[in-house]
Homo-oligomer: A and B are copies of this chain.
Amino acid sequence: MNAELLTIGNEILIGQITNTNSVWMAQQLNMMGVSIVHMSSVADERDVILKAFDDASRRADIVLITGGLGPTKDDITKKTFCDYFDTELVIDENVLNDVTGFFAKRNRELTELNRKQAEVPKGCSVIRNKNGTAPGMWMEKNNTIFVSMPGVPFEMQAMVTEDVIPEIKKRFKLPFIFHKTILTQGIGESFLAELISDWEDGLAEKEIGLAYLPSPGMVRLRLSSKGFDELELKNRIEQEVEKLKPLIDKYIYGYEEYGKEQPKLEEILGQLLLEKGLKLGLAESCTGGFISHLITSVAGSSNYYNGCIVPYHNEFKHNLLKVDHSIFEKHGAVSKECVEAMVKETLQVFNANVAIAVSGIAGPGGGTPDKPVGTVWIAVAHEDKILAKHFIFGDNRLRNIQMTANAAMNMLRKLILNIED
């Protein structure tokens, strides 16, 4: 089964927006055995859109369209949809209810422009939008399905996950695709590749594909295979995972199971804290609250998270975390002594069992020959056990912040589980 992705919007063509919707959709569809044959982006222009519909219908069984559904005048996808399917716009009462409710809940008046959001092409199947006002639309012509969705990523994503994918599964007999992804932290892509080189050479004859998916400080290894015997497929991949494990054991922090969302490190750590009944406190200098943001981005984190102090100057490391002035003088704020003092006091301040403290030079300024940009000290504590480690990351501020956060969360996870670092 073939799919095509079509993005409508001038903002893509002038390079104002990176097309992340297509990547996300491609990942979702590939995971369920649908092949993407084409992706395009076109302008908000009637004739161009009609031509794109026509071309796509010759290549694909289903065309997923995003963008151009806003209430404003520059958005013309819905009208063009009507032209292509030779139909007209009508108010959908369910959508009108949704839109009215959406504004009522926010104590805002429903304007005429908002009311227009409830118009859909006559004859389409409506996909309700829980997160916004523009509905999705599912229509068919000459054996090709067209699905139009808003370009706002989280609105589109909810529609794809909850409506479009289940409907595709009902309508098409898809091969099974089995993926298993091993999540690693603390080893670079090329070093990882060398460690597992012999194992990797054996994958081809088993018809298993391997992809390296790097992000700051982490590499995901995705094994995948396609076929019609689900159990055999699964066993084949699991056998290879078992062979891989001992080779890179200490870098693995989790697995992504087939069909489930990739667990984030902050979710894995959160789950561990919840299971063990531990309470977490943080002290972040160079990461500036980013670890706290990751931890609290997980729903329910208040069950194991107590809070954070970001002491962005030594004065506050002293006032709030009792770091002795002599430590700054002798060792500096980016030092083992400083993060150890910070992590101990963080346990106290937040009445916590486990804590993380970080201090470093995120850059671009602040580096010295002794402590170049990218130098970071991390301390983690689990009751009386304290571990501090020194890292030298890179030159990029945001990347240094991300890499520090990932390294810190994994250090704490390993300390709790008594895994040697």
Contact = CB atoms under 8 A, between A and B. Distances in A.
A16 B213 contact: yes
A15 B19 contact: no
A406 interface: no
B41 A14 contact: no
Given A18-B20, A299-B397, A113 B13 contact: no
A23 interface: yes
A102 to B, nearest CB: 9
A290 B316 CA distance: 19
Given A16-B222, A296-B312, A351-B315, A37 B48 contact: yes
Number of copies: 2
A401 interface: yes
Contacts of A48: 37-38
A294 B114 CA distance: 32
B307 A310 contact: yes
Category for how many chain A residues contact B: 35 or more
A36 interface: yes
A168 interface: no
Given A13-B39, A73-B200, A193-B72, A308 B289 contact: yes
Interface of A: 10-20, 22-30, 35-43, 48, 55, 70-74, 105-108, 111, 113-114, 117, 130-131, 133, 152, 154, 179, 188-191, 193-194, 200, 209-214, 222, 224, 282, 284, 287-293, 295-297, 299-302, 305-313, 315-316, 319-320, 349-351, 362-365, 372, 392, 394-399, 401
